[in-house]
Every structure is written in C-alpha cells, then in structure tokens.
Amino acid sequence: MTFSPALTFSLKITLVFLVQILLILVSNAKPQDLTVKTSTQDHKVSAILVFGDSTSDPGNNNYILTPFKGNFPPYGRDFANQKATGRFTNGLLTSDLIGRYLGVKDNVPPYLDPSLTIHDLMTGVSFASAASGFDPLTPTISNVIPMHVQLEYFREYKVRLTAKLGVLRAKEIVNNALYIVSAGTNDFVVNYFTLPVRRHEYTLPGYMDFLLNKHLEFVQGLLDEGARKIGVAGLPPMGCLPIVITLFSEDAVLDRGCIDYFSSVGRTYNSMLQSGLNIMQFNNAHQGGRITYFDTYSPLYDVVAGHKYGFKEVQLGCCGTGLLETTFLCNPKSNICPDASKYVFWDSIHPTQEMYKIVFESLQPTIDYMIKD
C-alpha cells in the first residue's frame, strides 16, 4: 500500500481542520438497552478515575473554549434519552462500561461538570479532554486540556474529597480506585503526521521516544499521587481509522483498506509502552500496585481487518459520508445510518458504542486481574 507524500497529506488534513472550524454546519433511533454484568471478582474498587482524550472524554470539553465538542446531535443518539453528553460516539464509552462492570456507577461523568455531587466524586469521574495528548503541543493545537492539567485537576479532586470526607477516607478512595489512561492517537495523527514542527525536530523513532517519556511520566505522576491500580491503553490501528484512510490513500474512494504504515507505528509504540510499563511495575512493586497495559489495538484490528463479529460496515463512519465527518462536520443536518450497531465507527475517527463494548469485553480478563485482592 502506498500513500500520498507528506506535503500533500498535510495540505489535505489542514484543509479538513479549517473546514471543521470555519464551516460549522447549521434521525431518530431508539436508545439501545445495554446491560453489563457486574464483576464477580472478590475485590474492593472504590471508584473509576479516567484520563486521556476523546476515547474517554464524557463531556469535559463542553466547559472549555474549543471547537472540539460533541454535545449536539447526532452524538448521543443511542445514549439514555438520546442525550448528546459530549461523548464522541452514539452512546457509551469503554470507561462507562467498565464503571458498570465494577458496580461503582452507570456512567462516568466529566470532572468539570459543576453539578457533581460528593457521591459522584467518591465513585469516580473522568478528567479526559477530546483532542488532547501527551505531547504538550497536541492540546495547544486544539485548545483543550493538556495531560499535565488533567493531573492537576486530579490533585484538586483529592483536595475536594479530603475537605468533604476527611484525610483517611479520601486516601482510601484514591488508593482503591481503578485508573484508566487513554491517549496518544492525536499526538501521531493530528500532530506528528500533520504539522511540520515535530517532524522537523524529531525523526519518527525519536518522536516515539519523546512521547513515551511523556507517557510514562504521566503514569508515574499518578503513582506519586496515590494511584495503585492503573490500566494504560495502547494506540489503536491508526491506519484503519476512516479519516486516515481518506487522507492518506491515493484513491480513498475505491481503496478503503487499512494503511499498514500507520498501524505499524501503533504496533511499534505499543511494544515500547508495554516494556516501559513492565519496568515501572517492577520498580514500584514495593507499593503493592498493578500497572497494566490495555490492548485496544487487537480488538479493533480484528474487527476491521479480520472482519470479526459481522459488522456491516468497517471502513466508513455512520455519520455523513463516513469519510471525514467528525466534531462539527457530524451535526444535526448530517445523514445518519439507521442502525449504528452494524458500524464499527460512529464518525470518521471514533468507534460506535457497539465497538466500545467489544473493546470492553476484550479487557475484562485484564480488569479482573487488576482488581482482585
């Protein structure tokens, strides 16, 4: 598989982002009944605390000044009451499903929601921000919440817990929570392969090393703040994302196959990440925690490239043409597929609730290992 030269791609994707920002374009389906069986493991998980990008942002971007929001139809079409919460999908995220599995809450709310109760805080929130990443330049591009600020919000969260519950109870919640970290795709797709700054500063292997250091620094920051059960998601097969196929393929209409070059970057980085997390686990074993890699690459690749689970459409998003639409280009005037459960992708980047459910199910054995006493 060949792909367009870097300059051609940069012009293409830059145009897409300009269109998204400048052309803000001014179906109804019944909500799906999604029941998740609660874990039967003998465990004690106090809360679920989530960090990352649009794969785990339930609506934090609603409360900041950024064009990257998903709090309008058709997003949320299959959520309870067809509510567009800010999740970049038609329904629930993997983190929501994990929260249900743990039995701590049905949906993980955004930390910036001003209506949060103390019970909401005690049982878990998400600090994630769509379009964020570990490279400090990535969130700057989109004016979203950087990962280091998400960590600062977590410190603020701890102060709020302590003020309401006291030092001992707050510490118990923090130490016994399940932490999920899911980011990195934007650093490669939006930042390194799109803009010239990082490509001029780093070779691809050099950028991987740079990003990995930032990635591991963030995880260490969680450990330093009291986290003991941390699941770190790897990169997806980036070459299978509809928007990447559209922008990188020489003929994006006739040839919709995954572009292995970009997926191979994800595989290489994921291998580096696993090694780094294993070393971190060894170095912090005395604290009694579990730092675990979450394989999100395999389930998505198996479905898209391996055609597992019988999805009707694996190469296009449900929203609009499925080629480029995301954020503002997926809007109330967009044509929507009648049944999103038959689609792997909701828009040109983000999976459907059905695909997130498959990812969640693939992670269940890893989660069980993490939360067992």
Q: Tokens 């019944």 correspond to what residue?
A: 30
Q: How many CB atoms lie within 10 A of CB 101?
A: 23
Query: How far apart are the C-alpha atoms of 190 and 17, rounded to whole Å?
Result: 10
CA 125-127-132 angle, 5° bins: 150
Active-site annotation holds for 334? no
State how far the Cα of 79 lies from the Cα of 92, in Å rounded to an integer: 7
Q: What is the DSSP letter of 308?
A: G
Using alpha carbons, select from 134, 125, 155 the residue that is nearest to residue 63.
Answer: 125
Active site residue 43: no
Active-site annotation holds for 113: no
User: What is the C-alpha to C-alpha distance for residues 304 and 258, in angstroms, rounded to an integer?
Assistant: 8
Token digits of residue 271: 């291998």
Alpha-carbon gap, residue 344 to 311, rounded angstroms: 7
Q: What are the helix (H) ranges across the chain?
A: 6-22, 94-102, 118-123, 137-142, 147-165, 167-175, 185-186, 196-201, 204-224, 242-248, 260-283, 297-304, 353-371
Cβ-in-10-Å burial (0-12, 13-18, 19+) of 149 comes to middle
- Write down the catalytic residue from 46, 132, 347, 348: 347
DSSP letter, residue 166: -
Query: Using omega within 30 degrees of 0 as the cis cutoff, is the peptide bond preceding 332 cis?
Result: no
- DSSP string of 109-164, one letter each residue: PBTT-TT--HHHHHH--B---TT--SSTHHHHHHT---HHHHHHHHHHHHHHHHHH
Using CA atoms, how far apart are residues 39 and 354, in angstroms rounded to an integer? 20
Which residues are CB-neighbours of 168 under 8 A, at least 6 positions away?
A: none
What residues have CB less than 8 Å from 68, skipping those under 6 apart? 54, 61, 130, 131, 142, 144, 327
Q: Which of 95, 135, 341, 350 is catalytic?
A: 350
Check 46, 54, 263, 348 and give the catalytic one.
Answer: 54
Which residues are tagged catalytic? 54, 347, 350
